[in-house]
Amino acid sequence: MPAKISTAEFDNEVLASDLPVLADFYSDSCIPCKRMSPILSKLENEYENKVKLVKINTNFEKELVERYNILAAPTLILFDKGQEVSRLRGAVKKDDITALIDQIL
């Protein structure tokens, strides 16, 4: 399961990562977010040592929500070398996420 990170950990875990990072901005009360969780766990295994996956709770990490203009959960943002490369909003299919990741690998 992707690690849950806070604002304090974000710069080190995401922006300074040697690997591309897929950040899942989620909410505990969000049904689509809960549906996405098993998909993200599978992707974490499939892309082990190629892409890092992290989860950011939008209810507690308001600074990151504002910084990255998160308007809805779930929102997936792909970072590479500390920069946002792409994002997906809402419940998406595994193939959509895979296509997003494969663009930068």
CB of 52 within 8 A of CB of 12?
no
Task: Measure Cα distances from 78 to 17, 22, 29, 103 in Å.
Answer: 12, 4, 23, 10
Two tokens at 9? 């950990």
Q: How far is CA 77 from the centre of its chain?
A: 5
Contact indicator for 55, 4 with CB cutoff of 8 Å? yes
Q: Which residues are catalytic?
A: 30, 33
